[in-house]
A and B are shown apart, each in its own frame.
Chain A
């Protein structure tokens, strides 16, 4: 069998690859459904959730919020940056906020101009 190389447009390739993925998924489901119907069985046991033997009412108790993950990340990695930005942006002085925003947009603009310069130079 000779190898075949198909070079195509990126968007076309994306459509083809998604089509291949969908086809393979359908085949996997079909094989499973065919064989499972022949040999498998469905249990009626254990319809309760497994929570280590506790009563389900335990789930209504307050638990750690999911936003804790975000604050955990900030505390572990971005503490200094967080306080720095907070002190500038929330100082209550308009000129500090304007300075921060213009510095940031200035940085983006310089980066964009550098990229443009490199592209033109090439």
Chain B
């Protein structure tokens, strides 16, 4: 099992694949948003500029100077960036995309521990490692948003997890599990009772991902021009490169989880079949496109507006959906 585990962690869907996919996703978002705003977007490095994010990353990591102001702690920032990347990649072993899959009862709690605790904490500590009034403002905004985004993310994911656990309880290998939910969530879309709940969950999770990714209209923690670059103000060179990579990996992993837990991944086809691969890619691209469209058509919210939107359109509907899902589950 060791060679397969090393392959899963380091190559697919581990470090190499997820980094490449994260950089592709960044290119896709930048290009799509640019074309919608009548700009060219990345164009020079690689075909259609597809290698531009990779070139930016290499430049920041290995070419640009590491400028440290007298109060900053760049080593701590790099440590937390690496911890965030590690947590995001480790969480992928809970999904059926990994050749070595880990599962247990209640493993969704481990997913939240890795993705909803470690990644925001990493970003917050990276911001705090270079103290500055602008980065402190950015971090306080990030903390405020995190306090409402992460609980609603948790509740939204409970909808398919509860439904799969109760509706397919006799067939699944583990209960309240990311792995089992990924295998059976596509069937919930075919059931007229569970389909509306899944639809509510999907809409909520798309809004929540937008906020989690700090994309417009939720780009308040970095608020370019308003607070210079927010929590990234004092970051430069390799620290900025690692932070951006962590941010891209966070978005990628969040979208992969939506594709599996809400949209059913490649199922009913197999992973290694052509229809399965095409379906998986199509679902990923569609979610990425929705994120890009929302990013390009909205302006920036104020912090209170952002909290109100997440509260009104993510937390409350998902809470109602979870209660209804539990009632439905008890009677099915």
Contact = CB atoms under 8 A, between A and B. Distances in A.
Interface residues of B, number: 65
Contacts of A41: 65-66
Interface in B61-83: 61-63, 65-71, 78-79, 82-83
Interface string A54-87: 0000010001001001001100110000000000
Interface majority SS on B: helix, strand, loop or mixed?
A: helix
A28 B228 contact: no
Interface centre among A21, A47, A72 (most CB of B within 10 A): A21
Contact of A43 (B65, B83, B144, B304): B65
Contacts, number: 166
Nearest to B176: A10
A7 B144 CA distance: 37
A49 B4 contact: no
Interface stretch (B84-92, B191-199, B204-212): B84-92
A29 B271 CA distance: 32
Given A5-B101, A24-B15, A36-B61, A69 B4 contact: no
A80 B228 CA distance: 36
Nearest to A22: B86
Contacts of A7: 103-104, 173-174
A13 interface: yes
Interface string A81-95: 000000000000000
A105 to B, nearest CB: 23
A87 B102 CA distance: 52
Nearest to B233: A50
B26 interface: no
Contact of B132 (A6, A17, A50): A50
B85 A14 contact: no
A47 to B, nearest CB: 5
A9 B107 CA distance: 9
Given A1-B99, A10-B105, A50-B233, A21 B114 contact: yes
A41 B67 CA distance: 10
Contacts of A5: 101, 103, 173, 179
Given A42-B65, A50-B134, A6 B79 contact: no
A23 interface: yes
B110 A13 contact: yes
B326 to A, nearest CB: 10
A8 B233 CA distance: 43
Interface in A18-36: 18, 20-29, 32, 35-36
B138 interface: no
Given A7-B174, A28-B86, A73-B307, A50 B62 contact: no
Interface in A105-122: 118, 122
Given A40-B66, A42-B66, A25 B101 contact: no
Nearest to A51: B133
Nearest to A6: B102
A9 B110 CA distance: 12
Contacts of A45: 65, 67
A50 B4 CA distance: 47
Contacts of A48: 69-70
A46 B191 CA distance: 61
10 contacts: A1-B99, A8-B102, A20-B9, A21-B118, A28-B86, A35-B62, A40-B66, A41-B66, A49-B234, A73-B144
Given A2-B99, A23-B86, A28-B86, 20 more contacts: A1-B4, A4-B1, A4-B4, A6-B100, A6-B101, A7-B104, A7-B173, A8-B103, A10-B110, A13-B110, A21-B83, A21-B86, A25-B79, A25-B82, A25-B87, A40-B66, A49-B132, A69-B140, A72-B304, A73-B307
Interface of A: 1-10, 12-14, 16-18, 20-29, 32, 35-36, 39-43, 45-52, 59, 63, 66, 69, 72-73, 76-77, 118, 122
A-B CB proximity, top 6 nearest:
A43-B65, A25-B86, A24-B86, A21-B90, A20-B90, A21-B86
